[in-house]
Amino acid sequence: MDLLRRLLRYGFDTGEKLLSLAFPASWNPLLNLGALGFFFYWIVTASGIYVYIFFDTGVAQAFASVEYMTNDQWYAAGLMRSLHRYASDGLVAVMLLHILREFALDHYRGVRWFSWATGLPVLVLVYFAGISGYWLVWDKLGQYVAIVSTEWLDHLPFFGQPLARNFLSPDTLESRFFTLMIFMHIAIPLIALVVLWLHLQRIVKPRINPPIGLAIGTGLSLLVLSAVAPATSQGAANLAMVPGRIGLDWFYLGAYPLLEKLPGPATWSAAVTLFIVMAAIPWLPPMKRQRAASVDLANCNGCNRCMNDCPYNAITMQMRSDGRPFEGEAVVNPDLCVSCGICAGSCPTSTPFRRLSELVPGIDLPDRTIAAIRADTEAEGARIAGPARIMVYGCVNAGVATACRSSNVGVVTLNCTGQLPPSFIDYVISLNLADGVIIAGCTENGCYNRFGSKWTIDRLASQRDPHLRARVPRERIKAVWAGRLGVAKLRREIAALETSLKGLGPYRHHADRAVTPEDRADA
Amino acid sequence: MPKYVKFAVQALFYAAFVAAIGVFSAWPVYRQIPEDSAQIKLSFNHGGGRLQDCRKLTSEELAKLPSTQRRPNNCARERQPIAVQMLVDGAPIYDAVLKPSGLSGDGQAETYKKFIVPAGKHTIVARLRDSKRTEGFDYESSFEVDLAPQQNLAIDFKAEQGGFLFR
Ligand code: HEM
Ligand code: SF4
Ligand code: SF4
């Protein structure tokens, strides 16, 4: 399982890297798969409502009404029909990639099981919706879909009369299935939307809409496809004939030839096994995860920062329980916490300058404490030497920093770049532990913990609390969004910073810089 | 990369994406049965006769039953299994004994079978036994057909319409 994940992850990382050559980081299609899914869903809905106006819901008239759209109204209803089909296919494509990517990135286990478990019914519903759609056209493909679907259901011992008998010959055809299909084709996508809403319940500010550029690009290209290669029907259904040569939509109906040719027990057990494995996979095996963040009330002043920064809604502010005169206190729900440490990076009490009291922040990760990060920083600071000493704070999810450790490059690992309180940078430079600082994380916009890189960028730019102090010389610090494939990039950036640090010369330290009134205020 | 090159590469990417969608939404073409063959679909529901004849209860037996359940006949509900045979040009392609459905075997027997045969002229013989006899058949139909390629010939059975129906 681990090997499979690694291989897939390598594939996705490579794809992302290639696409990043042409796409701005925020537009990268592989970083917007869920959002593209929603986008396609809306296109399907809008075009579906349009074609429904022209669709005749009787089994005898349906085919003719669809033909009318494609042939007589090709410029409007026909175009909408094509968009409806192609956006549905696009939806399947991005959804399958989205599943693979979340799997590859290990975003489906541990406390993140919820998004996986609520995604699974969406997968099934999307397929039901697409299959019922092909049924409705009642062309040869619709006939094939109807017969193979009912034959497959007939393998189950639930139905008294074989359902497929309904399609035995032209004179046994009844419209009851057809009416059911129309109902399903409208109801299922609506149910899917409700489940999708659930899907995002545990995710703070989910990316639901793709960036405008990406939306225009995909939307326009679907439109071009619809104009160049309009979706067509494949001849009216005729139960007196076998459908013969049919163009299958492999996105939705890829398994149909197998369902048709293989024995029922084999296909049913395969389908059920696949479903069970997918449903159980978040616990196969369960994720070995660090302990959840924990709050130290004595150090929490109820400032809300950690709650605002947590990417998984794991923190709520509740009534003060220790009688101190603050508005509230942070409370962590361990069932939602992914142990990213972003909260510790945001807490005003996480400052390494604190010497008078023990360094215990208001909120901290028990398995990777801010105190331990300070201790590592000091040890690495004592070890490195040379004219251009650099302290690299590397996120373990990108995992590229340790490879760059050397006599003048110290490396301290973080659970996420967002775990680093900006005061650490100030600390390193003003205590002369290094001449420059690099923060190395996942690719830009590709943060494993969703918001770590974004909050880091904003904190360094003094746009988000806690700010990096104005006195910190910006020319000595750098954030490198290297990603898992970015060792070479990080090396290059380190070398570039070395060169410029040598040009800058040593930073002039003031003896009294070590602890200033500002720092005391921080502490 | 200069900006216009980036846009060109983006355009190429979109083109590849929608081309993949366009292509795989209807290709490769699939053929359900070989080109010059036809399909015979045999499917029916039919209930055979009772396995046992009804038996008149004796007056002692009747007396033992609660008054609401006193009926002069005791009929076992289980039905006769149904034997079916189908021959195409004299060769048997289907020979089965269908059990009645339902937990107590009182439902109709059913079948749904597909056979692929070369297109062209064939003689199809279908036989069915639903009574207690152990040899021979209660129904037999013979049918000359000239099947067009890809034709789907349905064979149904309805006792009230005289047996096998070819349609
Ligand atoms: C049409 C179908 C789907 C749509 C539109 C969709 C959309 C989304 C969106 C917008 C997010 C939030 C991404 C972010 O902002 O970081 C998300 C997350 C997620 N999705 Fe889906 N999804 C779909 C189907 C599925 C399916 C079928 C699965 C798996 C079986 C799945 C698994 C996940 C997981 C595990 C996450 C959580 C990622 C995290 O914890 O950071 N999704 N999805
Ligand atoms: S460690 Fe991350 S997920 Fe857990 S409470 Fe802190 S910010 Fe939220
Ligand atoms: S950031 Fe720190 S001080 Fe502020 S509420 Fe969270 S734990 Fe308390």
Mean pLDDT across A44-59: 93
* Separation of alpha carbons A423 and B60, rounded Å: 102
Q: What is the mean pLDDT of residues A119-143?
A: 96
Higher pLDDT, A200 or B135: A200
Q: Is residue A63 a contact partner of residue A81, using CB atoms and an 8 Å limit? A: no
Put simply, the answer to whether A225 touches B22 (Cβ < 8 Å) is: yes
The model's confidence at residue A510, banded by pLDDT at 50, 70 and 90, is low
Which residue has the least CA distance to atom 8 on ligand 2?
A310
Whether the pLDDT of residue A109 is over 80: the answer is yes
pLDDT value at position A285? 85
Using CA coordinates, name the residue in chain A closest to B5. A22
pTM for this structure? Answer: 0.91
Mind listing the pLDDT tens digit for each residue in A379-415? 999 999 999 999 999 999 998 999 999 999 999 999 9
Tell which CATH architecture fits domain B33-50+80-166.
Sandwich (2.60)
Closest in B9, B29, B33 to A242, CB measured: B33
> Is residue A116 within 6 Å of ligand 1 at its C-beta?
yes
Indicate the residue of A90, A164, A171 with minimum beta-carbon distance to B21. Answer: A90
**Which residue on chain B is closest to A144 by alpha carbon?**
B32
Query: What is the percent of chain A with per-residue pLDDT over 70, rounded to a whole number?
Result: 97
Quick check: helix, strand or coil at residue A187? Answer: helix
Do A388 and A501 meet the contact criterion of CB atoms below 8 Å apart?
Answer: yes
CA of A279 to the centre of ligand 1 (A): 15
Distances (CA, A) of A425 to A390, A491, A494, A500, A521: 11, 20, 16, 18, 17
Compute the nearest-CA separation of A276 from chain B (Å). 28
- From A337, A370, A419, A456, mutation site for ligand 2 pocket: most ligand atoms within 8 A of C-beta: A337
Which residues from chain A sit within 8 angstroms of residue B45, using beta carbons? 161, 165
User: Which pLDDT belongs to residue A358?
Assistant: 84
A233-265 b/e (C-beta count within 10 Å ≥ 16 → b): bbbbbebebbbbebbbbbbbbebbbebbeeeee
Q: Which residues contact B138 (CB under 8 A, 6 or more apart)?
A: B128, B129, B130, B131
A323 has pLDDT over 90: no
Q: Label residue A281 exposed, middle or buried (CB < 10 Å: 0-12, 13-18, 19+).
A: middle
Q: How far is the CA of A107 from the centre of ligand 1 (A)?
A: 9
pLDDT at residue A169, as a whole number? 82
What pLDDT, in 10s, does the model give residues B62-77?
777 777 777 777 777 7
Show residues of chain B in contact with A161, CB under 8 Å. Answer: 45, 110
The Cα angle at residue A203 between residues A201 and A208, in degrees rounded to 5: 90
Of A164, A224, A240, the CB nearest to B112: A164
| pLDDT for the residue B46 | 87
Contact list in A for residue B109 (CB cut-off 8 A) is none
Three-state DSSP state, A1:
coil
Residue A511 banded pLDDT, cuts 50, 70, 90: very low
Please state the rounded mean pLDDT for residues A16-42.
Answer: 95
Pairing status of strand B73-74 against strand B55-56:
antiparallel
For chain B, domain boundaries: 1-30, 33-50+80-166
- How many cross-chain Cβ pairs, A to B, lie less than 8 Å apart? 120
pLDDT at B135 over 80: yes
Residues of A in Cβ contact (< 8 Å) with B14? 217-218, 220-221
Mean pLDDT of chain A: 93
Q: Inter-chain contact A231–B25, Cβ cutoff 8 Å? A: yes
**Pairwise CA distance, residues A135 & A234, whole Å:** 12
**Tens digit of pLDDT for each residue in A72-108?**
999 999 999 999 999 999 999 999 999 999 999 999 9
Which pair of tokens denotes residue A190?
């609506």
Place domain A2-8+31-283 in its CATH homologous superfamily. Answer: Cytochrome Bc1 Complex; Chain C (1.20.810.10)
Question: In angstroms, what separates the C-alpha of B61 from chain A's closest C-alpha?
Answer: 36
Tell me whether strands A315-319 and A390-395 are parallel, antiparallel or unpaired: unpaired
Contacts of residue A329, Cβ cutoff 8 Å, sequence gap at least 6: A295, A297, A300, A302, A317, A318, A319, A320, A321, A322
Chain B positions with Cβ closer than 8 Å to A: 1, 6, 9-11, 13-15, 17-22, 24-33, 38-39, 41, 43, 45, 101, 107, 110, 112, 148, 150-152, 154, 156, 167
**ipTM, interface predicted TM-score of the complex:** 0.88
Residue ranges, comma separated, of all CATH 1.20.810.10 domains in chain A are: 2-8+31-283
Closest of A223, A200, A250, A228 to residue A46, by C-alpha: A223
A244: left (phi over 0), alpha (psi -120 to 50) or beta: left
**What residues of chain A lie within 8 A of the CB of B38, using their CB?**
242
pLDDT score for A59: 82
* 8 Å CB contact between A51 and A77: yes
Residue A259's closest chain B neighbor by CA? B32
**A409-414 and A390-395 as β-strands: parallel, antiparallel, unpaired?**
parallel
Q: What is the mean pLDDT of residues A416-429?
A: 96
A275-289 per-position pLDDT tens digit: 999 999 999 888 888
What integer is the mean pLDDT of A106-118?
Answer: 93
Q: Is the CB of A338 under 6 A from ligand 2?
A: yes
Residue A162: which of B18, B43, B148 has the nearest Cβ? B43
pLDDT category at A217 given cuts 50, 70, 90 is very high
pLDDT at A515 > cutoff 70: no
CA-wise closest residue to A114 among A448, A447, A344, A337: A337
Q: Which residue of A has its CA nearest to B26?
A: A247
- Give the model's confidence band at A514: pLDDT under 50 very low, under 70 low, under 90 confident, else very high: low
* Span of A106-110, B85-89, B132-136 with lowest mean pLDDT: B132-136
What is the per-residue pLDDT for B27?
A: 87
Give pLDDT, residue A163: 87
Q: Is A179 or A417 the better-scoring residue by pLDDT?
A: A417
Nearest to A22 among B6, B107, B151 (CB): B6
Dihedral sign computed on CA atoms, order A27, A29, A32, A37: positive
Q: Is B123 helix (H, G, I), strand (E, B) or coil?
A: strand
pLDDT digits (tens, 9 = 90+) for B141-164: 999 999 999 999 999 999 888 889
Q: Are the Cβ atoms of B152 and A169 closer than 8 angstroms?
A: yes
pLDDT at A512: 45
pLDDT digits (tens, 9 = 90+) for A136-182: 999 999 999 999 999 999 998 877 778 888 888 887 787 888 889 99
Q: What is the mean pLDDT of residues A298-315?
A: 95
Interface test with B, best of A83, A88, A143, A225 (most B CBs within 10 A): A225
Residue A98 Cβ contacting ligand 1 at under 6 Å: yes
**pLDDT the model gives residue B62:** 75
For A219-242, what is the mean pLDDT? 94
